[in-house]
A and B are shown apart, each in its own frame.
Chain A
């Protein structure tokens, strides 16, 4: 569960603070896919801010593809920002290393390898759109 806080002296607009705190929670894992975000009523009840501020923040998160409103039920998390843990990073690094070795053995040089990686990334990100902006 997430408990929002507003720092009135930070100079950052309230709704931006809510968005950032939500994203942070998603990264840390305090919020996972399927979790319901607090209702506007609960948030303003705790923070005494304008409900439109909350709605604006939730709309922004929805545009970013992180949450989705379900009428009558609430707003739910649909994506996670959790970065892979160390173990996964090691495995990925090893796999990448082997692939590079294969490429070199097949006679490709650095720029060929870079071009292959770039087009693979292009294909992947082109298909699913920009998740992380």
Chain B
């Protein structure tokens, strides 16, 4: 039965294995160019058009990362669905089911022989992607902003064991829908929609709950310029080491308070101008005094609204692998459930 499954799907299996491996190779090639190069510090789109080798490599890496994110969906649609739908549409499943092989064995052999290697290849891709990007923070920052955390979309899904887990889920969804609907195009469309929904919902609504967030309390001190600037006042390196999931003004009772952006006076337009007879030191001193004055106004205003402090909620970057494992476990559990459902659906297969 293993040979039969291989022979029937060798094109599919090879494509499903070679595509991630090819992308891995491209990613490895980019490290040869980018290795040791300081991070750009620029956002992705600014890199386009620059003829430097580093930029070409960055672009390649970006494309590869995009592909890594898209692959689980594509594989679900074009492999997960077709593995069963081709047989069913041609009605050749009748042949497979009238030999001395039980339906269960027919189904599970197909899943393991076709999906197994593909998920493993995606695992390789994910690990290569991780190694290329993150083994040191002087690695490439392409494709995302300088400030994005690798716990959030899209970095999280493009590296580690997440791509493999998403692929397993995509394949399970595709095959279950193919057996349920027995209509190839319909199953493909639904798989696309379902996987897109999953990849959307996971980072926006679910991932942040894998652990309780760390809370950074920012007091309304002299140098408080407003929530956003307080957040970004930490050192740049520290920023990408945390995934900010929320920030609020907090009142004395500990409840969040919504403050409209123009409620407390924003920075005035009347920035002190340098006077010609001033020395730089004098000018700097005047600017500092001005800033402190504005800050004091703001703090009074906020305190007047009952606000006690500003709070950042985040997950530290060190949780990356823990989150990877949690999300992978979630996806694999779901995939296993769907595979079980699909196995039962084979009982209902009509000739």
Direct contact of A and B (CB under 8 A): no
Question: Which residues of B are interface residues toward A (Cβ below 8 A)?
Answer: none
